[in-house]
Amino acid sequence: MQQALIIDDSKAIRRILGATIRELGFDVAEAGNGREALEELARLPGPVRLILVDWNMPEMNGMEFLLALQGRERHPDTKVMMVTTETAIDQMIKALEAGADEYIMKPFTRDAIVDKLRLLGIVN
C-alpha cells in the first residue's frame, strides 16, 4: 500500500481527507502541524507518495513546512498538495514556488480531491 501524510490542525479535516485517501487505497498518517509532519516523515519506514498540507497551522505552518522539505532529500515520486482556505493568487504562486505540486482551495469536494490526484498521476 502507498503511504500518504495528511497535515492539518483540524481533526475534522484530517478525518474527511483521510477517509477519501484511504478509499483510494492509501495508508494514511496524520500530523497536526508542520513540525509534527517532519517527525512523522522521519518515522515512516517507506517513501511517502502523497502529502496533503494545510497552510495556516500553529507551530509550523504549511509554507514553512514546504520550505523545510525543500532543504531535505525528497523522494522523486512524492507529490505535495496544499489544501487551504488561502485563495489569493499571490499565495498560490508562493506555494507552487516553494515546491507544492498542486493546490486546492477549501471548501473542497471529494470529487475535486480525486480530480487533482488524477492530475498528479496518483489515481487513474
Partner 1 sequence: MNLMNANSAVAAEPKIEPQNYRYLCEMVYRESGIVLDESKHYLVEARLTPVARDAGAGDLNALCNLMRAISGRPLRDKVVEAMTTNETLFFRDIKPFDALRQVILPELTAKRRPVQTLRVLSAACSTGQEAYSLAMLWKEMKIPGWDLDILGIDLSDEVLDKARGGRYQQLEVNRGLPAMYLVKYFQRDEAVWQIKSEIRSMARWRKFNLLDDLTPLGTFDLILCRNVLIYFDQPTKSRILGAFRGRLISGGYLFLGASETTLNLDDKFLRRQVASAIAYQKP
**Applying CB under 8 A, which of residues 19, 87, 99, 110 lies at the interface with partner 1?**
87
Could you tell me the three cell numbers for 107? 471548501
Could you tell me the three cell numbers for 112? 475535486
Could you tell me the three cell numbers for 6? 495528511
Q: Which is nearer to partner 1, 42 or 89 (CB)?
A: 89
What CA–CA distance (Å, rounded) separates 124 from 117?
Answer: 8
φ, ψ dihedrals at 30, nearest 5°: -130, 155
Binding segment for partner 1 among 15-23, 44-52, 71-79, 95-103 (CB under 8 A)? 95-103
Q: Mask: binding to partner 1, 99-118, rule CB under 8 A, as x and -?
A: -x-xxxx-xxx-xx--xx-x
Residue 65 beta carbon to partner 1: minimum distance, rounded to whole angstroms? 17
Contacts of 49 (CB under 8 A, 6+ apart): 2, 3, 4, 26, 77, 78, 79, 122
What CA–CA distance (Å, rounded) separates 115 from 124?
Answer: 9
Q: Does 89 bind partner 1 (CB under 8 A)?
A: yes
Binding segment for partner 1 among 7-15, 52-60, 66-74, 81-89 (CB under 8 A)? 81-89
What residues line the site for partner 1 (CB under 8 A)?
A: 87-89, 92-93, 96, 100, 102-105, 107-109, 111-112, 115-116, 118-119
